Chain A
Amino acid sequence: MEVLDIIKPENQVFCKTKLLTDATLSYCPGCGHGTAHSLTMEVVEEMGIVEDTIGVAPVGCSVLAYDFMNIDMTQAAHGRAPAVATAIARLWPDKYVFTYQGDGDLAAIGTAETIHACNRGEDIVIIFINNGIYGMTGGQMAPTTLEGMMTSTSPFGREAKTMGLPIKMTELIANLPGVFYATRQAVHTHKHARKAKKAIRKAFENTRLKKGISFIEIVSNCNSGWKMTPNEANKWMEEHMFPYFPLGDIKVNGKLK
């Protein structure tokens, strides 16, 4: 039997969500962004809210998220996605508004916007991909780069004394009363991805409660930036990232765990 004989609608057992476009992903093979994109779009499709969902893309590897997510999107200046999303949510209070940001965008240049959107308790979802490095610009140190980790701007390893320790954004913002839900997830295995999808769904549902921010950190890999194979990167992530950034809920329904 030829391959083309097998590819028929009646034989189809799985397909990607319609809310992902057919554009070729610009992410490196093995990168977690693709999974995080599809989980987010699956949630939007399953909830039947595509007409009411507006996304905000950051500056970073996922700057072109709008090329892949088949929904209305606004591309924000570096770090300012929470401010952009604040205004969209205020002006479309009945819509589901989310930002999709990396660690440089959310935890370095956009720290003020992140903290103040959280503090105001905007009814938005923030999806925060933390891979401990600047991917788009070619592997420079991020605010979440682990101690001792070598990057192009910390070529001898991140030194705590001069460069500080990696910032735990989710723990930091969870302490603000405006944050309703804060959780840390991963997407490198099916098991983790299923859990992450549940968290994303809960976050989108939360925005209807008008009780504040739902913040989902996804600890992810950057095999290109870390200079590893995808499998090595995932293993390294489990061994080094997870102990410093432990997975699990930090705040649920407005209560710290």
Chain B
Amino acid sequence: MTEEIIIAGFGGQGVLSMGKILAYSGIMNNQEVSWMPSYGPEMRGGTANVTVILSDERISSPYLKVFDTAIILNQQSMDKFEESVKPGGILLYEPQGIYQHPTRTDINIYQIEANKLATEMGNKKIFNMVVLGAYLKIKPIVELENVLDGLKKSLPERYHNLIPLNEKAIHVGMDNLKTKIFQEKTVTI
């Protein structure tokens, strides 16, 4: 099994850290992983993206053109990566700020209103964990247990008190995933 993922959005949305937690989870799951970020000035307030690969085999290229899954968190990233999803692949996006919704019909499109949900939970910073939860609902490539272990590994110890909140956010994400089968009709699953 190999899962090739691009996560893209604004710097500050937790794009890189979501990828890092996913990569850590893969390690906890005894998989090979790679995490390849965009870096430099474009991170600061601009767009940020990270390619994460989880695989049972040795990973060749950490840099890819097409992906099994694209997790899209802003319009610029939608413009850039909608076409990069493999046919039959997954596009998960946060609709706030998206004015041109995806139009492809050969891929599976999902929505997660992570901004709204995180605000309702009282902590906007766990936005990315809500998105991660939604993704894991679609593709449970790693056990929740591994994700929590991954969180422990990637968070400095002084933040370990926030792990229960992060876990809750993952569940909120899992429970509020919407699938967008047709452009005009959104169904909750």
Direct contact of A and B (CB under 8 A): no
User: Chain A: residues with CB nearer than 8 A to chain B?
Assistant: none
User: Chain B: residues with CB nearer than 8 A to chain A?
Assistant: none
